[in-house]
Amino acid sequence: MNKIERNRPGQTNGKPKRVTILQVAADAGVSFAAVSKVLRNAYGVSESLRERVNASIKKLGYTPNTAARGLRGRSFVVGVVFPDMRNPFLADIFAGISAGFERTPYQAVQGIASQSNERDLTQAMIDMQMDGLILVSSSLSPEQLTDLGSRIPAVAIGNRPLVETTFDTVNNNDEQSGRLVVQHLAKQGAERIAMLSLEHPTAMRMRESGYRHEMEAQGLSAYINIARTEQTPRGIYGGMEKLLESRPQALFCWCDAVAFEAISHARSNGLRVPEDLAIVGHDNTVYCALDQNSLTSVDQSGEQIGTHAARLLVERFEGRIETEQILLQPRLVVRRSSTLDG
């Protein structure tokens, strides 16, 4: 009588044999790629798939090849895409991102993208197998961002989606920024309050909305005056010239760097700041507090924004699937450039 030997999973004729990923996939009824994703703790794996694969791994006694798994695993590199680095506020954001990764194995590398090449740059970062992306003031369309977030963990800073999406966001409450500025200037006695904004659709539209709504709330609708410019010295100069034609008493600039240029332009036209023209910036960058500048500015805490973005990515790497949107509240830091009452 022949003896029938029952082999346990992972054994053939009584001799141990390494179980393969293909065997795990067959047992779980999924693809090789699906098992690989579970083993790598890859982005976008559903809990049901993870449970099914892990059950088969336990049943078959599968042991991953640690060395090979390490080579196929994470790069521990995160790409950060900026539109420009001349604005000190963006440097504050990057400092916050770096601080957020300080106690983790992740490192941040930055890339500068123009409106025309941002899509190519983000794709290059994906091709380089970076683990995640942080996009600051992205020019990508909502559809492009949604597609990006479905392929790689991503956080968008300065981009507030109107519908549920695939990526996390960290934003300043830009509507409140506009309101704070108008409230302050109206309290100083200003009525003709103008705004120098940015041409391309960005968070500036929310700041404009806050400015408009507060001008209406203060009974100053007749003085609403917005000039949108390109982010160039020539564009800013043209915007200032246009606004000065209406002789505003105060000016809200979309960022501190532009506010400094506005101060210079006003003085070159014989205007005193703040006596003839009060000026307020946005971002409260380090140069605002210098005595020779003393620029009133909206503080949206760039470092805090960056730290939140880093935390959100780490949570994604650790398995969070649901999207999260963080909205930070700004505060106005008042200095000499806007104190009309002396």
Q: DSSP string spanning 172-185?
A: E-HHHHHHHHHHHH
The helix or strand, by DSSP H or E, that contains position 311, with its residue range, turns out to be helix 302-317
Which residue's structure tokens are 């036209």? 269
Domains and CATH numbers, the chain: 11-72 (1.10.260.40), 77-172+302-328 (3.40.50.2300), 174-301+332-338 (3.40.50.2300)
Which residues make Cβ contacts (< 8 Å) with residue 269, sequence separation at least 6? 244
Q: What is the mean pLDDT of residues 173-190?
A: 97
Give per-residue pLDDT as tens, 312-322.
999 998 888 89
Cα–Cα distance between 328 and 169 in angstroms, integer? 11
Helix (H, G, I), strand (E, B) or coil at 136: strand
Instruction: Write down the pLDDT at residue 17.
Output: 62
pLDDT one-digit tens code per residue, 112-148: 998 788 999 999 999 888 999 999 999 898 889 999 9
Q: What percent of the chain has pLDDT over 90?
A: 66
Whole-number average pLDDT of the chain: 88
Global pTM?
A: 0.76
Question: pLDDT, tens digit, for every residue of 27-64?
Answer: 999 987 788 778 777 667 888 999 999 999 889 988 76
pLDDT (0 to 100) of residue 2: 36
Cα 266 to Cα 273: distance, rounded to the nearest angstrom: 8
Residue 7 pLDDT class (50, 70, 90 cuts): very low
